[in-house]
Chains A and B, each alone.
Chain A
Amino acid sequence: MPIISARSVSKIYKVSEKAPGLKGTLKHFFERRIRIIKAVEQLNFEISKGEIVGFIGSNGAGKTTTLKMLCGLIHLSSGSIEVAGHNPEQRDRNFLRQITLVMGQKQQLIWDLPPMDSFRLNAAVYGLSDRETKRRINELSTMLELDNELYRPVRKLSLGQRMKAELLASLLHRPTVLFLDEPTLGLDINSQIRVRQFLAEYNYKYGATILLTSHYMGDITSLCKRVLLIHDGKLFYDGLLSDLTNKLSPYRLVKLSLTDSDSAHFVSQFGQLVEYDDHLVKLLIARENLTEVLTTILNQFKVKDIEVTDPPIEQLIGKLLKSGNI
């Protein structure tokens, strides 16, 4: 029984366009040119309880729109969504109690007051007793490594501390479905790692389902076994991250360390050369010929060391999203 299911979900926006300059503005004032934008088209997917799924795609691919439809903030143009047994659009209280939305570029913490005040407010929203609130804040702040920061005005906190406090505020009611939109945006590498560890821990402890978007592939590779790749509003890939690598790159990366530097030049002709440095050769070799080619190389040349890996997924997806050719 999936906890999230989306069937034939589409969202169409009407956007009015304006040419630059005063002339364009005047024209825009009297006559609006409306363009229809398909933000999301015919999305179908299911997510099971406890899964952490990465939602990837370039800017404007429709990730945020989809997340907001799953939360019930944006209404669908067609199709249907079910999250935790509810239709999100109805914004039933029992539904809203089970979910949370964290956005890296927006904050709910009260700027001029310490995070503690925002937590108290959220505790009142979700009807938590003072004792329970305290217990949960203690627990989550330990997991997030937050301490004195909770008593300092939000405006005085670093971005990393703020994000952690933001997570705490969003998870105080212990939601079981988490929608995270770029939760590590702008964070330094240490804070990113801390947030990732925290999310993994939260998922493990409470069996929470997490749907996460991020432009940092490190977030995706360290947290998500499964990814949804969306491009131009359409679902391009839904499956294991490791399989996506196969799909995106039909090659394996072979690192060869040779005893004889002269042979390096010849070896490089057996595949697509990535790097070539004296004794070391890095080659991309098609998966289907891999054993055959490697046998030939091993027979013909003196090889000191050999290493076969997948090309880094970050690079593959990055390249894919950049080129836009899917």
Chain B
Amino acid sequence: MSKLNFSIFRLIKAFWNTSISKELEYRLNLFIEIISVIGNLSGSLFVLSIFYKGGFNLGGWTWSESVVVLAIYTILDGLTTSILQPNLSRIVQQVQDGTLDFVLIKPVNSQIWLSLRVISPWGIPSIISGFLLITYTFIIGKKILSLYSILLFCLTLISSIFILYSLWFIIATTSIWFVRIWNANEVLRSVLVAGRYPISAFPAGLRFVFTFLLPITFLTSVPAEAILGKISLSLIIFSLLFSLALLFLSNKFWNFAISFYTSASS
């Protein structure tokens, strides 16, 4: 087992070494990315502030609590830019041109390969500013974070990453059959955007959809509630189990799908 883990870490290191050296050919990107994160974030903060200036209360969430939700969204958005998007959007292309062959022929878990093959450093500014924003709200609110709530936050954040990843991966997997039809990137990115504000701020009908049909609640609101100490332990456990179930399902679905792979012909 330890040997296996070692080789997986070594592999991921090799993966990321190659992709970072490739990405860093384009230095201007970092500058553009930082500008765009600052622009996006201040835009969203401005919209939020309009709500609160007008005395409007977003589903019982205070200003600083809503900012935490926005910060978590920013973190997930950064992860999407760095890992999910560059990897999962390639799956469709690899099915299309048949280079998936080279992945399937390697003695490596193909799902791990496809999900972590490349990393793009351009999401890092988002991830950092998300964490900074959370720290800032706690400093401003003069609240002290307990180790316990940090732990709960980490757990729920991990489960939200797993949920987002699994859904995305499942949709990308369907390209084995449909080859071109789905554009999973657009679908999942817009799902994520809905998590920019607290879910309870949405009307009841949408709230239902976002909780039970598209699990957006689990993406941003649940981690926010965890760090703010507004959450029950049972919901945290449910969120964890739910994410693990989805992860398991994505793996089963992938293994099922590749038996239908026809490989683009020569």
Contacts and interface: CB of A to CB of B under 8 A. Distances in A.
Interface residues of A, number: 36
Interface stretch (A47-55, A101-109, A307-315): A101-109
Contacts of A64: 265-266
Closest 4 CB pairs of A and B: A124-B14, A96-B107, A93-B107, A108-B102
B132 interface: no
Interface string A54-81: 0000000000110010011111000000
Interface stretch (B15-23, B29-37, B151-159, B186-194): B15-23
A110 B90 CA distance: 14
Given A74-B262, A105-B266, A110-B18, 13 more contacts: A71-B101, A72-B105, A75-B260, A94-B107, A99-B105, A106-B98, A106-B101, A110-B22, A112-B25, A113-B21, A123-B14, A125-B11, A127-B7
- Chain B contact residues (Cβ within 8 angstroms of A): what range? 20 to 34
Interface centre among B14, B17, B261, B263 (most CB of A within 10 A): B263
Contacts of B252: none
Contact of B101 (A13, A96, A103, A110): A103
B13 interface: yes
A103 B266 contact: yes
Contact of A13 (B22, B97, B98, B262): B262
A74 B263 contact: yes
Output the residue of B21, B260, B261, B266 with the most chain A CB within 10 A.
B266
Nearest to B105: A101
16 contacts: A71-B105, A72-B104, A73-B101, A74-B261, A74-B262, A101-B105, A103-B101, A105-B266, A106-B97, A106-B101, A110-B18, A120-B17, A121-B18, A125-B14, A125-B107, A126-B107
A122 B147 CA distance: 42
B61 to A, nearest CB: 46
A174 interface: no
Contact of B259 (A65, A75, A99, A117): A75
Contacts of B17: 117, 120
Contacts of A96: 105-107
Nearest to A120: B14
Contacts of B262: 13, 74
B263 A68 contact: yes
A124 B10 contact: yes
Contacts of A71: 101, 105
A91 interface: yes
A112 B23 CA distance: 10
Contacts of A120: 14, 17-18
Contacts of A13: 262
Contacts, number: 78
A93 B107 CA distance: 5
Nearest to A65: B265
Interface in B86-111: 97-99, 101-102, 104-108
Given A68-B263, A113-B22, A100 B105 contact: yes
A73 B104 CA distance: 7
A181 interface: yes
Given A71-B105, A74-B261, A100-B105, A124 B99 contact: no
Contacts of A105: 266
Nearest to B255: A91
Nearest to B97: A106
B135 to A, nearest CB: 36
Contacts of A181: 266
A111 to B, nearest CB: 9
A196 interface: no
Nearest to A185: B266
Interface string B235-266: 00000000000000000000000011111011
A129 to B, nearest CB: 10
Nearest to B25: A112
Given A97-B107, A105-B266, A110-B22, A124 B101 contact: no
A182 B7 contact: no
A193 B262 CA distance: 32
A186 B46 CA distance: 59
A181 B99 CA distance: 14
Contacts of B108: 125
A295 B130 CA distance: 96
A297 B255 CA distance: 70
A125 B22 contact: no
A86 to B, nearest CB: 12
Interface in A161-204: 181-182
